[in-house]
């Protein structure tokens, strides 16, 4: 599905009197460039550009697609034109212009000027977004990293406490990971870690949060989930890991999983450190009792 498909088209409208071949003011390059320096967020930048462009061209909405995603502002229109945004000879994104009326030749000329000025600010914003995302992610697995966990878990716990909903944490550890490295090589060890990251990506709900905690340890935060639901999720993850490892790596991989949940009966408050400690204790017991199993704190 393209950005154009997600926007709601409207019937053609009459071009406002102040927009037209004779009265439309020339594009103020300086004012547009100044406006495009006000944000490094792609969505905000698209909205700023839309407001400036609407003074010259009868647009009803703009869409933006780029390698990592898409953004949009305004409504759809029955007429859509695509404008590649190019910097230093490379296409960084595509701007989708939605209008209720076919654009005139002077309006297309203004649009060509404006998109040329938009390309570099959009490239800067996308670069900053990638840097922010990389600072939060583990490069090997694509999951959030430990630093991000320590920021997000207290927030998720506070939200669950405020709304009176349950929350569960899984702590996972790949069994005998040193043996995997020693037997199959560190490259295969990295593939095993990446495989677990992929399993978490595809198995969890969109509202769940997955993190690489360090080494071969992973953490999953399950909002609005009781212990029973967390146990089912853990078993589903472990089963899929075994299946995919045999199929994709050619050798067995198992995981031990510890579960902790809030609220805790008889406990008035539970902070993030205490919840993680309980999940870690359950994980330790799972490993000491033979590994490849799930235990609840």
One domain for residues 130 and 159: no
Q: Distance between CA 241 and CA 192 in Å, rounded? A: 9
One domain for residues 111 and 166: no
In what order do the strands lie in the sheet containing 59-66?
69-74, 59-66, 90-99, 79-87
Give the residue numbers annotated as catalytic, written as ranges. Answer: 216
Provide the domain limits for residue 62: 3-136
Task: Show the CA angle centred on residue 258, arms to residues 253 and 264, nearest 5°.
Answer: 160
One domain for residues 252 and 168: yes
Q: Distance between CA 251 and CA 188 in Å, rounded? A: 10
Q: Distance between CA 230 and CA 262 in Å, rounded? A: 11
One domain for residues 159 and 130: no
In the chain, the percentage of residues whose pLDDT exceeds 70 is: 89
One domain for residues 185 and 132: no
pLDDT at 11: 40
Q: Distance between alpha carbon 274 and the CA centroid of its chain, in Å?
A: 28
pLDDT tens per residue, range 171-228: 999 999 999 999 999 999 999 999 999 999 999 999 999 999 999 999 999 999 999 9
Is the predicted pLDDT of residue 76 greater than 80, yes or no?
no
Give domain status of residue 73, yes or no. yes
Among all chains, which residue has been given the structure tokens 């050619």?
250
Collect all residues with Cβ–Cβ distance below 8 Å to 252 and sequence separation of at least 6: 242, 245, 246
For residue 258, report the phi and psi dihedrals to the nearest 5 degrees.
Answer: -110, 140
Q: Distance between alpha carbon 155 and the CA centroid of its chain, in Å?
A: 18
One domain for residues 204 and 67: no
pTM over 0.85? The answer is no
How would residue 2 be classed by pLDDT, with cut points 50, 70 and 90? very low
Instruction: State the CATH number of the domain containing residue 228.
Output: 3.30.70.270
Which H or E run includes 39?
Answer: none
Q: Distance between CA 98 and CA 108 in Å, rounded? A: 13
One domain for residues 110 and 164: no
Of 84, 109, 136, which residue constitutes the final position of a domain? Answer: 136
CB atoms within 10 A of CB 243: 11
One domain for residues 267 and 174: yes
Instruction: State the CATH number of the domain containing residue 17.
Output: 3.30.450.40
Q: Distance between CA 200 and CA 209 in Å, rounded? A: 9
Number of domains in the chain: 2
Dihedral sign, Cα of residue 84, residue 88, residue 90, residue 93: negative
In the chain, the percentage of residues whose pLDDT exceeds 90 is: 69
Q: Distance between CA 231 and CA 250 in Å, rounded? A: 27
Is the predicted pLDDT of residue 10 greater than 50, yes or no?
no
One domain for residues 162 and 250: yes
One domain for residues 194 and 152: yes
pLDDT tens per residue, range 101-149: 888 888 999 999 999 999 999 999 999 888 887 788 898 999 999 999 9
One domain for residues 169 and 259: yes
Of 136, 169, 198, which residue constitutes the final position of a domain? Answer: 136
Average pLDDT over residues 262-287: 83
Q: Distance between CA 4 and CA 253 in Å, rounded? A: 44
Give domain status of residue 141, yes or no. no
Of 112, 136, 160, which residue constitutes the final position of a domain? Answer: 136
CB atoms within 10 A of CB 169: 28
pLDDT at 121: 95
């Amino acid at each position: 599905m393209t950005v154009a498909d997600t926007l709601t088209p409207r019937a053609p409208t009459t071009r406002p009197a102040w927009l037209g071949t004779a009265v439309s003011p020339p594009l103020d390059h300086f004012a547009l460039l100044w406006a495009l320096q006000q944000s490094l967020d792609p969505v905000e930048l698209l909205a700023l550009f839309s407001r400036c462009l609407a003074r010259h061209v009868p647009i009803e909405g703009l869409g933006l697609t780029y390698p990592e995603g898409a953004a949009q502002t305004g409504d759809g229109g029955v007429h859509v034109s695509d404008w590649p945004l190019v910097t230093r000879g490379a296409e960084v994104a595509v701007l989708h212009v939605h209008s209720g009326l076919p654009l005139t030749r002077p309006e297309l000329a203004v649009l060509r000027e404006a998109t040329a000025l938009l390309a570099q600010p959009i490239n800067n914003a996308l670069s900053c977004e990638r840097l922010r995302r990389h600072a939060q992610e583990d490069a090997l697995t694509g999951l959030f990293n430990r630093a991000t966990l320590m920021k997000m878990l207290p927030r998720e716990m506070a939200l669950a406490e405020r709304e009176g909903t349950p929350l569960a944490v899984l702590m996972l550890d790949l069994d005998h990971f040193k043996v995997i490295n020693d037997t199959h090589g560190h490259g295969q060890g990295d593939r095993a870690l990446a495989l677990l990251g992929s399993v978490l990506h595809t198995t969890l709900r969109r509202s769940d949060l997955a993190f690489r905690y360090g080494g071969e340890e992973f953490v999953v935060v399950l909002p609005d989930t009781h212990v029973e639901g967390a146990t089912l999720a853990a078993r589903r993850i472990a089963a899929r890991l075994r299946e995919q490892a045999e199929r994709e790596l050619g050798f067995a991989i198992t995981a031990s999983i510890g579960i902790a949940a809030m609220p805790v009966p008889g406990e008035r408050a539970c902070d993030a450190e205490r919840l993680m400690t309980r999940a870690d204790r359950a994980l330790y017991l799972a490993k000491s009792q033979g590994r490849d199993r799930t235990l609840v704190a």
